[in-house]
Amino acid sequence: MAGGKLSPRQKMINLMYLVFIAMLAMQMSKEVLTAFGFMNDKFEAANVTATQLNTDAYTGLADKVGEQAEKYGPLNIKANQIRTISDDLYNHIEDIKQKVLGDFEFTEDNPKNYETMDKSDYLDLYFYQKGKISENGQAFIDKIGSYKSGVITALDTLYPSVVKSVNQRFDISDVTDGEGIKKNWIDYNFVGFPAVASITKLTAMQADIKATESDVLSAMLQGQLIQDNSIKKYEAIVVPEKTAFFAGETFKGKVYLGKVDATLVPSRVEVNGREVEKKNLQAGQVVLEFPAGAVGEREIKGKFVFKENGEDVEIEINSSYAVVPKPNSAVIAADKMNVVYRSLPNPMTVSIPGIPDNLVKASAPGLRKVSGVGKYMMTPGTGKNVKIIASGTLPDGSKVSSSQTFRIKDIPKPFATVRKESGFVKMPKSSLVKTTVRVELPDFLFDLDFKIKSFKVKVPGKATITVSGSKMNGQAQSAINGARVGDVIAIFDVKSSLVGVGSGVNVKDASAVSIEIQ
């Protein structure tokens, strides 16, 4: 409006303009307040629906625990942790809302007159006092912080997308307003705002809590579904037309992809008209034990019974196997090679097909039975050969026997090594004086541990030095330090013994190793 001296008429016109603008502002303010109220009603209705959906999901997950505890039990524990901390924050926010609503008087005809909820006094004093966050405001901030940390701890690194959304939804860090002024989260979001706007914000936060619960449940079930259907869960299963074939026959069968689930345990299994004992119902499989029967083809028929959604689900079992005639010869094999080594415990397997291990006996000088089906240990002594005789008793009481002769060999001559190198080695004398002399048996089938007793060192121009143990003594170090570049130092007459297994074996002196000084 123009400045300067105004006439009474102009002053009246200006006053009418101000009143008119004020009336428009009041009308707009009422419409905005009502819009906030309607939005709050929408949020609250959505929260009721979300609460019911989440409750149904929690119940469904708990039912799954009753069916497959090992698979869904850990998920249910995490879900209940999220539910508890979510309810805690949701109820805290609801308590604040009710306190704000209690500051207004509503008529019986219009219990929520949003147009009257334009004051900010209650939350201004509740959250913010004397220019700083009040005790109640800080408690609200702490509740939100505890909720965030609780969700993140419960979810760990399993569901990063949910954790990210929680951090975004419940970000309570300081905010810079449109004028560039930095404010704390409480001041920016609640101080000076109409009560209906603040209540709507609080209801929206409750909606975020419900959405987070829904996200967690969806992520858990979707993650379990992806894990269950991963290609890594499948195995190639070969199913032959029959489980035994005679020489000259053509093999016939099929290869299936079968999903393996260690947490899936059936409630009941029947095979050939009999229920399988509970002890044989293992994770994802059933151990069958019954007499094989007479020679010929035999059937295996039955069913798996699983609980799903409170009902029994049956899966048919239909297979067969063959019973072959009795064997009449033994199978004897050396586990390591076709020879045995003198004074060492050589693992052996002795069995006769079709005859249980407890009805098979094997004998030979130095042979003894050890733990395991068909497992023996052979420790040969003198001589060049040893014969192992195996015998067994067939179901009809008749005897079968067989024998196998093995050559006995001495432990080969070891090699002296420095830095695990043998033969001819190049190295500086500063390294040689510190090196450890060892002996090794390259490509030997037994892992043997040697202890160095002594060795000799010959430095050009010096007398031969005898060293005890595996490290250079002072005399040897002095002689090596006097060597020149290009000199070849010999380590020979390396005497050693075995440690532990075969410790009584006489080990041959190791082959020499030569070191050229660089």
For 409-444, the pLDDT digits (tens) are 888 889 999 988 988 999 998 899 999 999 998 888
- Two tokens, residue 293: 């029967």
- Separation of alpha carbons 231 and 227, rounded Å: 9
For residues 239, 244, 248 and 253, what is the CA-based torsion angle, rounded to 10 degrees?
-10
Neighbours of 327 (CB within 10 A): 15
pLDDT (0 to 100) of residue 192:
83
Angle (CA) 295-330-242 rounded to 5° is 35
Give the range among 259-263, 430-434, 511-515 with minimum mean pLDDT.
259-263
Higher pLDDT residue, 106 or 450? 450
Confidence of residue 226 (pLDDT cuts 50, 70, 90): very low
Bridge partners of residue 499, in order along the sequence: 449
Strands lying side by side in the sheet with 399-409: 339-341, 399-409, 385-393, 360-363
Looking at the DSSP bridge assignments, the partners of residue 129 are: 132
Highest mean pLDDT among 54-63, 135-144, 187-196 belongs to: 135-144
Q: What is the CATH architecture of 331-409?
A: Sandwich (2.60)
Backbone angles phi, psi at 480, to 5 degrees: -65, -40
pLDDT for the residue 20: 42
Greater confidence (304 vs 249) lies with 304
State how far the Cα of 281 lies from the Cα of 301, in Å rounded to an integer. Answer: 17
Q: Burial of 490 by CB count in 10 Å (0-12 exposed, 13-18 middle, 19+ buried)?
A: middle
Sheet holding 331-334, edge to edge: 331-334, 346-351, 375-378, 367-369
CA distance 100 to 198: 9
Most confident range, picked from 131-135, 343-347, 386-390: 386-390
Structure-block tokens of residue 21: 């603008």
Range from 68-72, 137-141, 263-267, 314-318 carrying the lowest mean pLDDT: 263-267
**Contact predicate 494/439, CB 8 Å:** yes
- From the list 441, 450, 379, 438, the residue with the least C-alpha distance to 411 is 441
Instruction: Read off the amino acid at residue 78.
Output: K
Which residues, other chains included, contact 144 with Cβ-Cβ below 8 Å and sequence gap of 6+? 89, 170, 172
Per-residue burial over 388-398, b if 16 or more Cβ lie within 10 Å, else e, is bbbbbbeeeee
- Note the helical H segments in 177-289: 185-190, 195-228
DSSP 510: B
What is the Cα–Cα distance from 11 to 20, expressed in whole angstroms?
14
Cα distance between residue 61 and residue 217, in whole Å: 9
pTM: 0.45
DSSP summary character for residue 410: P
Strand partners, 176: 182
Instruction: Tell me the percentage of the chain whose pLDDT exceeds 90.
Output: 19
Residue 451 has phi, psi (to 5 degrees) of: -115, 125
Residue 327 binned pLDDT confidence (cut-offs 50, 70, 90): low
Q: Cβ atoms within 10 A of the Cβ of 416, count?
A: 24
Q: Which two tokens stand for residue 75?
A: 């998920």
Cross-strand bridge partners of residue 399: 393
Which of these, 116, 91, 94, 88, lies nearest to 199 by C-alpha position? 94
The mean per-residue pLDDT over the stretch 66-80 comes to 79
More confident residue, 121 or 487: 487
Identify whether the C-beta of residue 50 lies closer than 8 Å to the C-beta of residue 216.
Answer: no
Q: What percentage of the chain exceeds 70 in pLDDT? A: 74
Residue 6 clears pLDDT 50, i.e. is over it: yes
Distance CA 467, CA 475 (A): 9
CA-wise closest residue to 411 among 477, 518, 484, 503: 503
For all residues of the chain together, what is the average pLDDT?
Answer: 78
Highest-pLDDT range among 239-243, 271-275, 407-411, 501-505: 407-411
Q: Does the pLDDT at position 171 exceed 50?
A: yes
Which of the two residues, 59 and 282, has the higher pLDDT score?
59
Judged by DSSP in three states, 195 sits in helix
Q: Under a CB-based contact definition with an 8 Å cutoff, are residues 514 and 486 in contact?
A: no
Tell me: pLDDT of 1 over 60. no
* CB atoms near residue 11 (< 10 Å): 11
Report yes or no: 381 and 365 within 8 Å, Cβ to Cβ: yes
pLDDT at 25 over 50: no
**Res. 276: pLDDT tops 60:** yes
Give the residue carrying structure tokens 């409170």.
310
More confident residue, 247 or 95: 95
Query: What is the total residue count of the chain?
Result: 518
Distance CA 271, CA 448 (A): 50
pLDDT in tens, 366-391: 999 999 888 999 999 888 999 999 99
Instruction: Report the C-alpha gap between 507 and 411 in whole angstroms.
Output: 7
pLDDT at 411 (0 to 100): 86
